[in-house]
Each structure stands twice: as C-alpha cells, then as structure tokens.
A and B are shown apart, each in its own frame.
Chain A
C-alpha cells in the first residue's frame, strides 16, 4: 500500500483540483483518434467486475476521444486469448486490455517459467500501462473468533483456488507471521472457499478486500487481516500485515534482527504483490504517439465523474491512478516479483512434491 498511497493521493488531487477533471483532450490527440475505433478487451465473460468497468468506461471514452469505443469479451483460454491478442496487436490498432495488474505481472511469468506459455503469447514487457481504475489490497477472511495471536493456534488451513493462488497470500504470509499453514486447493470461486470455512474444512481464505467483506457479510465470517503494508483506507481499524504498526511488525518485535528483517520483507512482498489493481494496458507495439494519446485519454476518462457514477452504481468503486504513476507501480511490482520468485518456486516445488 505504501507504493500506492502517493499515487492514489495524486489521482484524487487531479479530480478535486479545479481544472484537473475538466481538462480536455489535446487537439493533436483529438485529430489522431477522430473517427477511429477503440476496442476494450475484457478477459472474462460478460457480467463480472472488469466487464462492468469496461462498459461504464466506453461511453466516456467516446465523449472525450471522439472515437467509437466497443467492449469485447474474450474469456477463452482462461483469459489468455485476450491477453495475447492485445499484446500482439499492431502499431495502428487501438486495443485496450482491462486486467488485474498483479496477475499480469505474476501469473504469465510463472506460466512461462513452467513452459506453459511462450513469450510470444505473454510477457509483461509486451504491454504498456495507461492507467489504473481502482486499486485495493487482498485480505484474509476467517472463521468467527479466530485469534492470530493465540498460542494454541496450531496449523491454519486455507481454502484456495489453486496452489499457485495460495503461494503468496497463504504460504509466504504464513512464513511472515510465523504460523504453520496448510492449504486445500481446487475450490471453484471465492463463494466456495467461504463455504468451506463454514463446513469446517478450512480456517481462512483470501481474496480482495471488497470480496472478503462481502463474504463476511453473507456468511457470518470475519475479515481478520488485510494483506497490505498500511491501514486500508476504507477500513482503517482492520489489522494489516506489513509495515510499521502491522501484525508482523508486532509479532517480530522481540526477535533477532536478521529473522525480524526477513519476516518483515516477506510480509512486504505479499503486500506489494497481492493487490487487485484494475489496470488498462496497450501493446508496446502501439505507435508511440498513439500510446501517449491513449494514456492522456485514459487519464481524462477515468477521472470523469460520469464514469465513476456509472461504475459505482454497479458496486465497482473508482479511484483512478494516472498513467505515469501506474507505470511506476508496474515497475515496482516486476522488481518485487523477480525478488520473490526463488522463494515462491521453492515453496511450490515443496508443496507439489508433498
């Protein structure tokens, strides 16, 4: 969260400072895009979060850009068809991918590492980020009354979608907290993971903060840890994982410095890599002038109150981060992931061999 907070502040500033939201698309970009078609590619079926953001954004893009904006859903190949299509689009095509930034950084690299995908299909270097619509941390939702500080805690069992999804929020977070963790993997969706806790099959599960709050509300569970490195802006009273005043900070206070530093660095890695930042990406193949204009257009559209109103009416909060800051965030994610990769691969290898 530390890396995000200045960017969020900057985005809010651009909305509320007079002239920030009222800025107009530059004449040069207006001429370049006039009458063109922009395709917003969603890697999921209609009806989900990314689809909602895209459909709310399209009319605002048309208003500012003087172009035709259309949404297309490409859920095929687990969303990889959409990612590959955008990455390989040509210099002239205005094609935009709406995708979770952390997933785009972490999953494809892991998949390529295992030989599942070729770099021609995927590499984070194949995209240029042109803005973030909303960003939030992940969190743990747990059975009622679970005390992370209890000496009788024993081994905690998490319910997760897959081993890959469990690596950071369960196993690395567990190492940071000094808690023995295990995971039951293969559940289909966060609702199922929540139901597993109610059936006593697991103690915790992880998802974005919004989803965990919804799970807690629906199913009588409780959000007991936000995987961020600072208090969540929407829920400042919830305990958080990393950084000063965090759970890990407290748990490692009396330990030898080397161990405390190691565990705090693991917590920071989880906080940095497990966010849900809804990013907008174009291909690096896109002509430089067009890419710059796309960034300008996205900054304008994502800060437009009409977009925020349409998205928030459908339960999708908006807190835009402009292209420049979003680029810095992606660079920081790539560096964090590269640093964490050996640890993640070691845990994965150990768990697969189990």
Chain B
C-alpha cells in the first residue's frame, strides 16, 4: 500500500457511516468530561479501554483519536469569560482572552478561539502527515540538550508578557523555578524541601497550583461583585461571531507560525499544551514589531497564538507514540496501552504495514478538534451571555467545586492546602502589582528545565554529547539569542499605583525570608540539593531582597497607611483560612460546610432567619460532599486530625 493509498483509506475509515458516529461519541465524551469536576479525561479513557477490549482496531482508533483532541478547546471558554482556565493548557488564553471579554467582546473572543483552535489543529495534522515518513530520525534530533534549550526559549517568553517591573518579573520567575524544584531531585531521587511529608514527593501538583493561582485569586474578588467589570471598549468594536472568525483569517501568518510552534512543542515528550500556549504567545508579541502595545489588554493576536498552538500540539504529541511507543503525555500513555491491547506495534509497523490505521487515528483527532470548534462557534452567542450572570452567585459554588475536585484528582488532602495557599499568594501578588504569569511559566517549565540540565551535564561529562553535531540545538540556541536581543530592546509598561507601599515592602521581605529559608536548608544539607536547586533558592532570595529594598524606598516616598486589602475581600480570604483550619481538624466535608458558613453567613445576626438557612445549606453541602466523594467519585474522604484521633480511640 502506498503512502497516499494509506492516507485515503485512513480518511475513508473516519468519513463513512456508521464509523463517523464513533469519533463523534469520543468528542462528546471528552467534552463532557472536561466540564464535570474531577472526572478527568484519563478516568473516562481508562474505562473505555476496558469496554473496547473486544472491538476491532479501526473503531478503537477512531474513539481514542477523538478523545485525545476533544477536550482541548473547551478549557479556554472559562479562561476567556471568567479568567479561570478550565485546564492548564488554557492558561495562556487568559492573557488577552479575558481582557477581550472585559472590553465587551466575549462572542468575538470565543469565536476567534474556536476558529484558531480548529485551524491550528488542521496545521498540526498536516505537519504530522508530512513528517510521518521521516519522523524517526527527526524525533531523535530532540534529546536532553534540545529540550533544555527549548525550555530556556520558553522561559524567554516571560519577557514578552507585559509587566511593570523587570526586577519583580525576574524575582517572581526565580520563585516559580524554586517552587518547581520542591519535591525530589531528578538525578538522584533524593527528597528536598519536603519537610518530612510524602505529599510533596512529586512537588506541588500543577492543577492544584493553577486552580489556586488563577481561580481562587479571581473568586476572592467576586463575593461582593454583582457582575464582571463594565465593558471598557473605547474603540466601540462590534462583538460578533463573524468578527472573531475574520480576525483569525486576517492574521493567517500568525496562525501558521503559532501552529508550527505548537506542533514542535507537542513532539517533545513531557512538555505539553501549557508550554505550547505560552511559547506561541511570546513569539506573537516578539514578532509584532512596534505594534505590541495592546498585548495583555485584549489584543486578538494574543488569543489566536496560544489557541492555535495548543490545538496544533495534539497532532505533534501523537508522533512519539506512533514512532517509538513513547508516550509524551497522559493521553499518550492511554494510546500506547490501546496499541498494545489491539496488537498494534508502534515504530516501523505503524509507519509501514499499519500506516492506514495511523491515518485513521490522525483523521479522528482532526475531526474531533474541528467538531469542538464548530460547537464553540455555534455556542459563542449563548456563552457570551454568561458574562451577564451575577458572579457573586457563581463564586461560592465554583470555589466548592474547585476544592472538592482537587482532592479527588490525586487523593491527597495536601493539594487542597496548595490551592488555598497559592490562591492567597496569587491574590497578594496581584494586590502588590507583581506579575503572576512569569511565576506560572517558570513553574510549568522548571522541572522540565532542571531534568534536562541534569541529563545534559551528565552526557557532556561522559562525552556522549556534542553541541556541534546537533543541528536542532544550534537552531534553538539561535532563537534564544534572538529572543534575548529583543528583550534588551524592550520597554516596560508603567507601574500601577500600589495601594499600600508599606505592606508591599513587607510582602517582598516575606517572600525573601521564605526563599532565604529554603536557600539556607539547601546550603547546610549535604545531599539532594543540586547546584541548580541551590542556585535558584539563592537567586530568588537576592532578587526578592532587591525588590523589597526598592519597595522600602517607595514606601518612604509615599507615606500613606492605607490597608492592602479592600474590606470586601476580607471575608473571602477569612473563609479560605477557616476552611483550611476546619478541614485539617475535622475533615473535608466539615471544611466545605465551614467555608459556606463563613462566606454566606458573615455579616448576618447569629439568630437571624438567614443564618438558620445558611447553617442548613452548610450542613447540606458538607453531607453532599461526603456522599459525592464516598459514593459517586469513589475516593477516600479525607478526615481531619481530631476525627482520626477519635476513630483510633486516642
């Protein structure tokens, strides 16, 4: 069978009846699972593996190909509308997607994101099809050195994110890299900064951190807000689906560039959609020349780039699984398992005798990406109206769902404290005008960079690696140099007025103290702390010290004593603290009851009718949480210290 015969057979396998119903089912399944809290795509996929054991390979590939691509776009909807990413890949869509919503252009933004996603996935799949015949040698070009350089290039995109202070951006980047280093040394598997708890063995869970950093931080401001900020649209742009679609067509070069970036990032195992989104955003800003003043304020190009890249990544991420049986992501693990069950051998057989099956998988992936985007464009007008909802009524259910979900994902109560802790940390960064996105990019890339630093240095030491024999490394090194040159020319944006300079200085000193403590531990502990990890801790300490010195000077110049936190934010923050304490003592259901009681009940008289109702709702939600976790989600319901002590008869 020739290459084109196999391609034609693969496409024919998808676009024939009743076969086409299977990828539609897969797409619907993954879209639904992306909306259900805690029912992750991998759980549904694991269940489907069991149910499809007796199926023939073609329908199985149609199903799993569709499930690989189905959920990607949906995570961007909440990122655009509410500044809350539905999944980690959607984080970059917030940068300009949510400002577009705040400009009164939610329909335009959603239609644009859906179109960019669909076209991005088409480009990703075309690149995938074009590369298949030469993929094995191509993939072998991406070893630890190339991955390290890719990580550094990704980190350089931080400079493209608009921020008011280079020093603060550097400090918060170092803090992000330091946070990523907490857990275990990748080279020796020795633990570091885990303070004797196994919960930190794998470091901070990324989903928990992102939920705290973006979702909780956002929700703190919603308790006394009836709706999102009124539209700020001085140019009176029209909000329409057509405008969103046309914007993507107008910026077709950006779309192509971002899609290629997404595909290349997808090819590299272990990098993922989050990095693809941010790297594409960075290259969009860098390639905008002098016309980049609107990035971060609702520039449509800042939405097209990450959306195209994140969906194009799906195509690229199939390549290592197909060519080497090398799963580059959780979806890749599922696919490799499916291959093994159905007798498909990744590598040469999938690229020769089974090539038509490979194209079946690819076509199903493409169809699912397009289907989700069509759904997105169709629903854009309705989704746009969601911004008219009273956010004060959404805030508490969203908070409770986030907290229950995060405990369900890994079965570790510690992740709940990660959400609460990083929620408050992210809020304080926002209040004191520290850029938050560099922290997230650094955190996402941190362990990837460190792992490849470790591998690269070992390979150089053993003379198993030569830079000048690695053309991909030389190209990436060139891109990094260009990025840094661009950075040197870049001007900053004006700093927002900090509400309370004295508190801002104390906050910076607090961060310095934490980083300093970690640096101290690294310097006095003999094993487990590599030069990289220790260096990050020292760098974060020094940079936070410099920021605090600058803030002290600013505080002297502006001798005000204003409070750093608006009164309307005090109750939400208090609710989070009460929730954490009650959960630690009495377990998660009690914690959920406590957050409801504090959030809703604050300000009411103890014996009032509202308070009785609030109490009833709190108890009801606590019981519902217990029932959901125990009977529906089937996870172990976390109990607190006091409950554990009582149950053990102490």
Contacts and interface: CB of A to CB of B under 8 A. Distances in A.
Interface of A: 39, 41, 45-48, 51-52, 55-56, 70-78, 80-82, 84-85, 90, 111, 114-118, 121-122, 157, 161-165, 182, 184-189, 191-192, 194-196, 198-202, 214-215, 217-220, 310, 313-315, 351-352
Given A46-B42, A201-B464, A75 B196 contact: no
Contacts of B410: 74-77, 81
A221 to B, nearest CB: 10
Which of A186, A192, A199 has its CB near the most chain B CB atoms (within 10 A)? Answer: A186
Nearest to B41: A46
A47 B411 contact: no
Interface string B324-344: 111100100110110011000
B411 A194 contact: no
A189 B327 contact: yes
Nearest to A86: B636
22 contacts: A45-B330, A47-B42, A47-B45, A48-B333, A74-B635, A76-B412, A81-B198, A84-B198, A85-B636, A90-B647, A111-B191, A116-B194, A162-B186, A163-B188, A185-B454, A185-B458, A186-B187, A188-B269, A188-B270, A201-B143, A217-B345, A220-B348
B326 A191 contact: yes
Contact of A186 (B186, B196, B636): B186
A76 B205 contact: yes
Contacts of A162: 186-189
Nearest to B325: A218
A90 B635 contact: no
- Interface pairs A-B: 10 shortest CB-CB: A76-B412, A74-B411, A76-B410, A46-B46, A162-B189, A191-B326, A80-B198, A218-B325, A78-B201, A116-B191
A307 B648 CA distance: 36
Nearest to B410: A76
Given A77-B199, A116-B190, 18 more contacts: A45-B42, A46-B45, A47-B334, A47-B337, A70-B634, A72-B636, A76-B202, A76-B205, A77-B412, A78-B198, A78-B201, A90-B648, A163-B188, A182-B462, A186-B187, A201-B143, A219-B325, A315-B337
B269 A192 contact: yes
Nearest to B144: A201
B113 to A, nearest CB: 28
Contacts of A72: 411, 634-636
A75 B207 CA distance: 14
Contacts of B246: none
A75 B411 contact: yes
B527 interface: yes
B202 A77 contact: yes
Contacts of A215: 325
Tier of interface size on chain B: 35 or more
B50 interface: yes
A195 B324 contact: yes
Contact of B188 (A78, A188, A218, A352): A352
Interface of B: 40, 42-43, 45-47, 49-50, 53-54, 139-140, 143-144, 184, 186-191, 194, 196-202, 205, 269-270, 320, 324-327, 330, 333-334, 336-337, 340-341, 345-348, 410-412, 414-415, 451, 454-455, 458-459, 462, 464-465, 527, 634-636, 647-648
Contact of B325 (A74, A80, A191): A191
A191 B527 contact: no
Given A214-B340, A315-B341, A184 B634 contact: no
A185 B453 CA distance: 11
Nearest to B527: A352
Nearest to B630: A37
A187 B411 CA distance: 26
A47 B335 CA distance: 10
A46 B194 contact: no
Contacts of B46: 46-47, 51, 55
B143 A186 contact: no
Nearest to A202: B464
A125 B631 CA distance: 31
A182 B527 CA distance: 20
B325 A214 contact: yes
Nearest to A47: B46
Nearest to B184: A78
B330 to A, nearest CB: 7
A264 B238 CA distance: 80
Which of B46, B54, B345, B454 has its CB near the most chain A CB atoms (within 10 A)? Answer: B46
Contacts of A74: 410-412, 635-636
B412 A81 contact: yes
B412 A195 contact: no
A31 B202 CA distance: 42
B199 A81 contact: yes
A180 to B, nearest CB: 12
A90 B649 CA distance: 11
A250 B608 CA distance: 87
Contacts of B327: 189, 191
B199 A76 contact: yes
Contacts of A191: 269, 320, 324-327, 336
Contacts of B201: 77-78, 80, 116
A162 B187 CA distance: 5
Contact of B187 (A81, A185, A217): A185
Contacts of B45: 46-47
Contacts of A81: 198-199, 410-412
Nearest to A107: B189
